[in-house]
Structure formats: C-alpha cells, structure tokens
Amino acid sequence: NKVILLKNRPKGRPSLEDFEFTEEEKPKPNEGEILLKTKYVSVDPYLRGRMRDEKSYIAPFEVGKPLESGIIAEVLESNNKNFHKGDFVNGMLQWKEFQTSNGNGLNKVDGEKAPLKVYLGVLGLTGITAYLGLEKIGKPKKGETLLVSGAAGAVGSVVGQIGKIKGCRVVGIAGSDEKIDRIQEKFGFDAGINYRTTDNMKKAIAAACPDGVDVYFDNVGGEILDAALANMNKYGRVVNCGAISLYNKKETPTGPRVETTLIKKSILMQGFTVRDFVKDFGPAQNQLAKWMEQDKLSYLETVVEGFENIPQAFIDLFDGKNKGKMIVMA
C-alpha cells in the first residue's frame, strides 16, 4: 500500500524532495469502517499553505505524516450500514492507495449522473467556490465587466462562464496564448490577457476593459491584483479567492498601498474560504449541475496518471501546466 508523506516543509517553491514515498500494510476495516481504494485525487494550490507551520483556517500538515486532499475513492469492503461495496465516495482523504474510514465527512457520488472526476471539479469545491464567491461577494449584474485571473484554471474558468450566463462582459488573465485562445473559444470569454508576455498589466487591463472593471475575481494576488485595482469602477467588488502568486514567497511582499483606491471608488474587497458558505453548498451544486445539463457550463481537466505522480502534479500547478482542474488518476 503506497503512501505519500510530507518530508520537509518546502522553502519557496515545493520540490519532489519535500515528499516521501513509503509503503505500509494494506489496512483491514474494523466494525463500522469501510475499506477504500483511491481513484481520483484533487491537487490544489491551497495545499501549499497547509505545508507551512502556520495557524490558518485549516490545520497544517505534519512532517512525517501522510498528506491529504479531496479524493474520490471506491468502497472495496464495508462494515458500515451506510456504505456498500462498489459505492464511490468523495471527501478529504489521505494520499494512500488504500485506507479505512468510519465514513464521517464522506459523501456518496453517483458516476451515472456525471463522470466521477467532475465531483472534484465543476460539481465539487472548485465549482462551488466559483459560484459562491461570485454570488456572495462579486454580485455581477447584467452589462457589467467581470475580470478574472487564473482564468484558464479550475475555479477561474467556471467564474468566467458564470459571468457570461449573468450577462457580463468577461475578460480573463492567464499565463499563455494557448490558454487565452482556449478561454475565448471554449468558455466564451470576450477577451484575454497573457500576463507573462504583457509588460504593463495596468494598461493591458484598461485596454481590454474599456468601460472599467466592476467585479474582479482574484485567484492570483500580487502585482496582477494591484493592476486590477487601478482599473476598478466606482462601487466595484473585488473577490479575494486566492493569491497563488504569493504562496511560494518566503516573505510577504509589500505592494502599492491600495487604501485610497478603495476609498475614492467606494470599492468592496472581501476575502473568503468556501467553507464559510457550507449551508449553501447543496443549492450551489444543483445550480451548477443544471447549467451543465443545459450546456451553459463546460469544463477542462488535466488528468495525470499514476498515484506516484501526485506530488509532481501539485508542483506543476505553480508552473501553470494544468488547463482546468488538475486531477491525478491513481
């Protein structure tokens, strides 16, 4: 039974050296437990934060212990009346090929309704983050301009499509020309900016958003956030969803001070973690499923094969190697 542990707390950009691959005996389920086989593993930028020894909204990983993330697993054996052999479950599970669980925190998923992987993406926390971040904080209105960073990624690509459903002009920021083409052709974005080939993001955003920005959904933080803030309209809303450009920094950089921008333009800027809105998960998932049925919402996935490739797939997020949701098929 292969297991992946955190070997060191990464300094800066994570590397394979920070992970340890070990083997342990395949466990047996006790009374009330189920035996699970890992099928699909979600790798997510926020896991980088859990590798630091810092107090946060979620406990840090411990050195020498298995890592964990959102996983779809198959029930191989069940001593728990709520689960049956052959069921598939979704939940926060450890990076182990096989593990036992008492079932707490696991939700059954139906592979007939949608491909199982989708429950880690559009119909999982990714889609729910996009939907609720936009609904609760961004509140886009018809005719407004929505700017999204990380636009070709898992959350960003859903945010952009919801913006189009709501009748916004949608502009995306991403890290390659191919991604910019993709968000326009596949997801209906109106325009895109490749931040890696653009010298002056402030001017590029102004050019791509001639009426200014009403809602900025931020997945990356740092200099792109500064450039977006400079283009906000009066009463604009800034959704602080993520700040991946800062996750590997050893010190928090000090950027331009934004306070007067917010004051002069009466801008609302609010951070959130999706778990703030747990009670809204069900309705959010239903709405996302409905849009998918109506072909209003589509998705991209980058699927990496092999349990042992989980750490590399995670590291690759920081190089933008994924298009859409990054998933490992174990």
Among 182, 242, 285, 313, binds ligand NDP (CB under 6 A): 242
Partners of residue 148 on adjacent β-strands: 172, 217
Q: Is 313 in the site for ligand NDP (CB under 6 A)?
A: no
Among 27, 60, 212, 320, binds ligand NDP (CB under 6 A): 320
- Return the closest-CA partner of residue 302 out of 149, 160, 171, 178: 178
- Return the closest-CA partner of residue 215 out of 229, 235, 236: 236
Are 239 and 134 in contact by the 8 Å Cβ rule? The answer is yes
C-alpha distances (whole Å) from 52 to each of 9, 68, 166 are 6, 14, 38
Q: Is 69 in the site for ligand NDP (CB under 6 A)?
A: no
Q: What is the footprint of ligand NDP within residues 30-49 (CB under 6 A)?
A: 44-46
Among 14, 70, 175, 311, binds ligand NDP (CB under 6 A): 175
Counting Cβ atoms within 10 Å, is residue 251 exposed (0-12), middle (13-18) or buried (19+)?
exposed
* Residue 121: count of CB within 10 angstroms of its CB: 27
Are 308 and 23 in contact by the 8 Å Cβ rule? The answer is no
CA quadruple 224, 227, 230, 233: dihedral sign:
negative
Query: Of 87-95, 136-144, 290-298, 319-327, which segment contacts ligand NDP by CB under 6 A?
Result: 319-327
44/180 Cα distance (integer angstroms): 21
CB crowding 147-171: b at 16 or more within 10 Å, else e: bbbbbbbbbbbbbbbbbbbbebbbb
CB of 279 to ligand NDP, least distance (A): 15
Q: Which is nearer to ligand NDP, 28 or 249 (CB)?
A: 249
Q: What is the footprint of ligand NDP within residues 101-160 (CB under 6 A)?
A: 126, 129, 150, 152-156
Among 38, 261, 322, 330, binds ligand NDP (CB under 6 A): 322
Q: Which is nearer to ligand NDP, 244 or 267 (CB)?
A: 244
Q: What is the footprint of ligand NDP within residues 204-233 (CB under 6 A)?
A: 219-220
Q: Is 192 in the site for ligand NDP (CB under 6 A)?
A: no
CB of 317 to ligand NDP, least distance (A): 5
CB of 145 to ligand NDP, least distance (A): 20
Amino acid type, 318:
F
Among 21, 272, 281, 307, binds ligand NDP (CB under 6 A): 272
Q: Is 274 in the site for ligand NDP (CB under 6 A)?
A: yes
Amino acid type, 222:
G
Query: Of 6-14, 15-23, 183-191, 313-321, which segment contacts ligand NDP by CB under 6 A?
Result: 313-321
| Positions that interact with ligand NDP (CB under 6 A) | 44-46, 126, 129, 150, 152-156, 174-176, 179, 219-220, 241-245, 272-274, 317-318, 320, 322, 326
